[in-house]
Amino acid sequence: MKINIREAKKEDCTRILELVRELAEYERAPKEVTVTLKEFEDAGFGDKPVWKGFVAEVNGKIEGFALYYIRFSTWKGSRLYLEDFYVTEPMRAKGIGKLLFETVIAEAKEKGFNGMSWQVLDWNEPAINFYNKYQSALEAGWLNAGLSKEQLEQFVVPKHNPVQIKK
């Protein structure tokens, strides 16, 4: 088995998106993946890329990926945020995840970030056990919050709002 970890390229996006959908199935949220291939490609390889990633190839086929972006914490400064990290089920427990994860750690270290963060579902014991091998801090007490695209579109800016957003 030949494993190759490398930076993701635009032509990898179709396969990465397939794996994103597999991950969503595993996380019991398959209908939550609404990003289009074009949107995904543009966000990673367009004029203003917002994500970067690594892929794990096994015998020439992408079997895993790690996708990250930079976030800024007013408390901690610039940090690498690992958005998604996934290895296909048949390829787990073969060291591929370790290689991918350690590549991301090396990237964070090389770029001088003040840390690295990610989320893990509280029921995902295999992932929690994996992260515990790295002595990761699992934080309790934080809830995820957000607004969907539809909610943003439905929002009406109050007339009394002094903020004028210029396009």
Task: Point out which residues pair with 62 in neighbouring strands.
Answer: 57
Task: Point out which residues pair with 117 in neighbouring strands.
Answer: 81
* d(C-alpha 96, C-alpha 63), whole Å: 9
The active-site residue out of 68, 69, 81, 131 is 131
131 part of the active site: yes
Phi, psi at residue 65, to the nearest 5°?
A: -155, 160
- As given in the structure block, the two tokens for residue 105 are 């750690």
66's CB contacts (< 8 A; 6+ apart) are 53, 54, 82, 84, 85, 86, 100, 101, 103, 104
Which of the residues are catalytic? 131
